[in-house]
Chain A
């Protein structure tokens, strides 16, 4: 599934890198601990989090994630958006809470379940 389809289905606000929405989403991961995401998310995953600071861009870059969805209408910090633009990381905002975002992605056929690792 393309990122563009997710954006439309969930009504996400795209904060930067609109030109990268053709990317395929291969799975999803939900966590607010950066160290956990670094250890367990996989390339192509969508990451759902409430963290908004600069370091989310570093983690998304490191693991080559398809994009980051910030929940509860949380806006990324200015420095985060600037860095995301530089690194080509798609940042999106949903006004829904984490559970709703994850549930709707699951309904669309996106899976997580990489297991411990």
Chain B
């Protein structure tokens, strides 16, 4: 099969994230926004949960949009880390680990609502766990666990002081086997490389971190791959078999 270039936005929140636009960040709205922005691959990464991913996948299937199961996990050091997984089963195994190491219950009035939806944007209920909180797992533990379940570990928005790995730890720990670093929509790749020289050696994806529908696709990565899939993304990040992380906007 020939290689093609696709647009990927690998960091999108849904109504399940306490900080997201609860009533507008529905599966339907995310699929529609993704299509209008020309995205072919997205990853749904709510805070410490992937319980809205299945609904997104079902909604996106008819639209020809590939949705990877993902989670934006908060480490004990309050570093945000994206875990992207090849399938729901392995993502759920990671979810079990996160659930066991995430203390507390949400207080919606203070932290925001955490709404579970089905593929028709119907409300199924709400999540009681404290998704805005930090797990008791270190960055190292999390990267190891993500890899243990066959996933990709990407440090979120490394250019941001709050919850970015550079802001929280001051550096990227030696030997930490991240698969890529994410630059936020607020900064371009050249700007980020200029300001943080230590990130240059990593594959750099750029994502929207969308919390509202109009933010979907405001930043994306261009991948040269055979198709929009987890395995092809993995090859692209490694630059293997002709697959490439070309760049993006």
Q: Which A residues are closer than 8 A to B by beta carbons? A: 33-35, 38, 51-55, 58, 61-62
Contacts and interface: CB of A to CB of B under 8 A. Distances in A.
A52 B77 contact: no
A105 to B, nearest CB: 24
A54 to B, nearest CB: 7
Contact of A51 (B19, B134, B162): B162
A15 B95 CA distance: 40
A34 to B, nearest CB: 6
Given A58-B111, A62-B110, A52 B133 contact: no
Nearest to B77: A33
A35 B78 CA distance: 8
B171 interface: no
Interface residues of B, number: 13
If over half of A's interface residues share one DSSP class (helix, strand or loop), that class is named, otherwise mixed; here it is helix
Contacts of A51: 161-162
Interface string B142-172: 0000000000000000000111000000000
Given A33-B77, A35-B134, A52 B107 contact: no
A-B pairs, top 6 by smallest CB distance, nearest first, are A53-B162, A35-B134, A58-B110, A62-B110, A61-B110, A58-B111
A108 B35 CA distance: 59
Interface in B1-42: 19
